[in-house]
Amino acid sequence: MIEMKKNKILLVVPEISGGGAEKVMCLLARHLDKTKFTITLIVFGCQDQCFQAIKDVTVVFLGKKNMWGFFKVILSLRSIIDSYHPEVVLSFLYYSNISVTLAQALSFNKPKLILSARNYNEVGASRFKFLKLYLLKYAYTKADMVIANAEKLNYLLREENKDKSEKFLTIYNPIDTHEIDVKSQEGVEDYVPRNNNFPRIITVGRLEKQKRQDILLAAISEILHSYNIPINLLIMGEGSLKRKLIILAKSLGIENNVDFIGFKLNPYPLIKQSDIFVLSSDHEGFPNVLLEAMACGTPVISTDCNSGPNEIITDGQDGLLVPVGDSTTMAKKIVQLLSDENTRKLFAEKGLQKANKFSVKSIIPQYEKAILNVIGEDK
């Protein structure tokens, strides 16, 4: 029996733990068809204690520790491309997209490049912003395919790059609904809930400006002080704004109702046990955490930001959308949902149905088709 030739694929991402993009990359590494592809996962950073080995996937950590490691990363990628001879390099996030494009330009081998944008305003206000934007635009011109994880993000990318070609494609993020269901029934990790029967609101995400936990804190303050409704808020995640957010909670007089519980390897039990999940971001790409909350059977409220939330939530049918930066409307919608048990049950049921549409069984084949398409083997 003749063994079918497998295509060599490099998956490239800056880090491997924590964020939504990293979760999606790990799902790709796990679930891409190993009878069609040989997978190597390249991670710019160092291996951490949260990393779990992926069956039949070689994982290479480049050990980048600071901004000057950028040049080491490019040279390492060039060496890997020249020695490994991949058919396709698929990268996530702007830093990886720039790096693999420059590495391919310097290498003898010229694999196909699939670059994936994961967030609206990915570069943000970071150092050397204009240089990064210039290099990212260059990368998109050199890519064989650009994957956006939301239709709105795809539209914005086409407009910004003045490119209407078919190489811009939308593939939504997958979630592993079975894994989430199993993990949501495990014990809660390193957290003792407050000893009261107050309704519990939860949010999960990096404590950074983009996520706007300050808006959620203002909404919780309004619920406690204007509506006089007792409530608890769990903020799960770490980031540079943690201290400022703790100080803000104290200044609002709500420190006894807010718990900052840090990063949890398994967030799902606490999400499942909460009454409402809230996302307060200024901008996103396609927020997996909303789908994960839906998969846990928890009703969701999100800002209607660019991009993703309104492609996940059908407002009033399986969740609620509120204007960006509007803590008053957010407070009002939280109170309305808390006071309506039937709507919460409906959102939980419909949300679970919605989450199942984004399962790995539905989404991973779209990635496989895209990879084979750029190679020229899609029949």
Structure tokens at 337: 């949902």
Note the pLDDT of residue 193: 72
Top-confidence residue, 307 or 36: 36
Domain identity same for 352 and 364: no
Note the pLDDT of residue 333: 97
The answer on pLDDT for 49 being more than 60 is: no
Domain identity same for 132 and 184: no
Residue 1, in any domain of the structure: no
Note the pLDDT of residue 339: 95
Note the pLDDT of residue 370: 95
Domain identity same for 198 and 111: no
Domain identity same for 133 and 11: yes
Domain identity same for 140 and 185: no
- Average pLDDT for 218-233: 96
Top-confidence residue, 129 or 35: 35
Res. 46 pLDDT band, cuts 50 70 90? confident
Note the pLDDT of residue 55: 83
Q: Which residue has the tokens 């990268």?
A: 91
Note the pLDDT of residue 121: 67
Note the pLDDT of residue 302: 98
Residue 193, in any domain of the structure: yes
Q: Which candidate, 199, 213, 208, places its Cα nearest to that of 330?
A: 213
Domain identity same for 349 and 365: no
Q: Which candidate, 107, 98, 106, places its Cα nearest to that of 70?
A: 98
The answer on pLDDT for 16 being more than 90 is: no
Segments in the chain forming alpha helices (H): 20-31, 69-84, 94-106, 129-142, 151-161, 177-183, 213-225, 242-251, 268-272, 288-295, 309-312, 327-338, 341-356, 360-375
54-100 per-position pLDDT tens digit = 888 898 988 876 666 788 899 999 999 999 999 999 999 888 999 99
Q: Which residue has the tokens 């790059």?
A: 161
Domain identity same for 78 and 43: yes
- Average pLDDT for 324-349: 97
Residue 342, in any domain of the structure: yes
Long-range CB pairs of 371-377, under 8 A, 24+ apart, other chains included: 371/7, 371/9, 371/32, 371/37, 371/88, 371/90, 371/114, 372/7, 372/36, 373/145, 374/88, 374/112, 374/114, 374/144, 374/145, 375/7, 375/87, 375/88, 375/112, 377/7
The answer on pLDDT for 152 being more than 50 is: yes
233-251 per-position pLDDT tens digit = 999 999 999 999 999 999 9
Work out the percent of the chain whose per-residue pLDDT is above 70: 92
Residue 242, in any domain of the structure: yes
Domain identity same for 253 and 214: yes
Note the pLDDT of residue 126: 63
94-129 per-position pLDDT tens digit = 889 999 999 999 999 999 999 998 876 666 656 677
Residue 322, in any domain of the structure: yes
Residue 27, in any domain of the structure: yes
The answer on pLDDT for 305 being more than 60 is: yes
What is the rounded distance in angstroms from the CA atom of residue 200 to the CA atom of residue 296? Answer: 15
Domain identity same for 71 and 158: yes
How would you write 220-261 as a 3-class SS string? HHHHHHCCCCCCEEEEECCCCCHHHHHHHHHHCCCHHHEEEE
3-state helix, strand, coil in the chain (%, to 5): 45, 20, 40
Note the pLDDT of residue 124: 60
Residue 2, in any domain of the structure: no
Q: Which residue has the tokens 């494009």?
A: 101
CATH of the domain at 221: 3.40.50.2000
Domain identity same for 167 and 194: no
Note the pLDDT of residue 1: 45
Taking a C-beta distance cutoff of 8 angstroms, is the pair 7, 88 a contact?
Answer: yes
| Beta pairing partners, 302 | 279, 321
pTM: 0.88
> What range defines the domain where residue 246 resides?
179-356
Work out the percent of the chain whose per-residue pLDDT is above 90: 69
Domain identity same for 130 and 185: no
Give burial (CB, 10 Å; 0-12/13-18/19+) of 378: exposed
252-293 per-position pLDDT tens digit = 999 999 999 998 889 999 999 999 999 999 988 889 999 999
The answer on pLDDT for 310 being more than 90 is: yes
Note the pLDDT of residue 63: 82
154-190 per-position pLDDT tens digit = 888 888 888 878 899 999 999 999 999 999 998 886 7
Mean pLDDT of the chain: 90
Domain identity same for 290 and 371: no
The answer on pLDDT for 361 being more than 80 is: yes
Q: Please work out, in degrees rounded to the nearest 5, the angle formed at the alpha carbon of residue 209 by the alpha carbons of 208 and 215.
A: 110
What's the domain count of the chain? 2
187-203 per-position pLDDT tens digit = 886 777 776 789 999 99
